[in-house]
Every structure is written in structure tokens, then in C-alpha cells.
Amino acid sequence: MESIKDFQNLEEKLNSFLKKDEKVLWEGKPEKNFYMEGIDYYVFFIGFVMLLFSLFNIISSLKMHSRGGRDIVGAIFSIPFLLIGFYLALGRYIHRYKKIKNTRYFITNKRIILSEKFFGDCFLSYINIKNIEKIDKKTKRNGLADLTFSKGSLTQSEMKESLLSSERIMITFRNIRDYQNVLAIVTDIKNR
């Protein structure tokens, strides 16, 4: 991935990333929505229960310590479980919301580009449309879809190389309402 710090806005970053004969045909971003999938219900429940038990353990340990007991160690050992429970119950969804908020998608006449912002840096990664061998579509009940564009099977060394460059093996557009248009554009470019 290419980190770009010194630009004012995404448009400048994208223009510097594009090749001379490349133009943006489609631009989008994931829709913000609170949508739990099957496994999310279980993870939320486990995290919530873990959070409650660790809170109960910390409070009871501190009460015992205030009455002259020596169970402060129990409270200290419960803190990691409290943090894990918080992350599983709520933190995952806060992280997912922030990621959706800071993600943009672009389709050019040559590449599919993913822009993600982490801690103030913007990272641009791409996959060449001509290299795409597989497109997976996962339609959700709310009318949105996740589109995954990927190359075929790769060797382990090719996968390692992909991690060190801006070119990716796979890019996923999440929570796209205009997914049929995106599929039509990519298919049209690929078939040229």
C-alpha cells in the first residue's frame, strides 16, 4: 500500500496516483448502516457476557479489598477480560463504522482502486482490471452488496510480494448499493 501524508484532499492524492491515460469512471463509498450478520449475534452475546462477568469480578474484588481482603489481584487479572469483552460487544462495531467512514472506491479505465484512511494517512491500493479472474457478489437483505474482485490462485511468493506493494490480490467493495452498475462497468472494461 502506498501511504500519502502530504496532500490536502483525496482528489489530489488520487490524481497523483493515477497514470496519465487513466480516468475515473465510477466513484463510491460504502453505505453507513448497522447491519449484523449471523456470526455477529453470537460474538456480541459472548462479548456482552464476558464484559458483565469481568465487571462483576472487578467490583466484587474491589469491595473485598476495601473490607480488608487481599483480592486486588483478582481485579487486575479481570481487566484484560473486560477489554476483550468490550471489544467483542461494542468495539468491533465502532471500528467497522470508522473504517466505513474513511473508505472510498474508484473504478478507472484500467484499475479498481481502494482508498482507506488510517490514523491520518491515506493508503491507496489497486488491482488491474485485466488481471481479475473472479468476481464474487454477496447480496444482503437490505439491498446492499459486497463485491470481491480477485486474481486467480497465486503462489505463496506472489502473495508475499502483494503485501509489500500497492497492487493487491483481492479488493472488496463493501456495502455498495450501486453494485449492478459497478459490475457492468468492470465487465465491460474486462471484455474490451
Mean pLDDT of the region 11-31:
82
Element (H, E) at 156: helix 156-164
Q: Can you give the residue ranges of every domain in the chain?
A: 2-31+104-191, 38-98
| Sheet containing 170-176, strands listed edge to edge, beginning at the edge strand earlier in sequence | 134-139, 145-150, 170-176
pLDDT tens digits, residue range 74-97? 888 899 999 999 999 988 888 888
The radius of gyration of the chain from alpha carbons, rounded to an integer in Å, stands at 22
Alpha-carbon dihedral angle through residues 94, 173, 106, 19, given to the nearest 10 degrees: 110
pLDDT band at 50 (very low <50, low <70, confident <90, very high): very high
Residue with cell 491515506: 122
DSSP string, 134-184: EEEEEE-TTS-EEEEEE-S---HHHHHHHHHSSB-SEEEEEEES-HHHHHH
Residue 129 has pLDDT above 70, yes or no: yes
pLDDT at 61: 84
The answer to whether residue 72 scores a pLDDT higher than 50 is yes
Predicted pLDDT of residue 86 = 94
Q: Which residue has the cell 497514470?
A: 19
Residue whose C-alpha cell reads 491507496 in the numeric block: 124
Q: Considering the chain, what is the average pLDDT of its residues?
A: 81
Provide the pLDDT for residue 98. Answer: 82
CATH fold of 2-31+104-191: PH-domain like (2.30.29)
Would you call 96 helix, strand, or coil by DSSP?
Answer: helix
pLDDT of residue 2: 45
Q: What is the mean pLDDT of residues 47-52?
A: 94
Answer whether 127's CB lies under 8 Å from 168's CB: yes
In this prediction the pTM is: 0.73
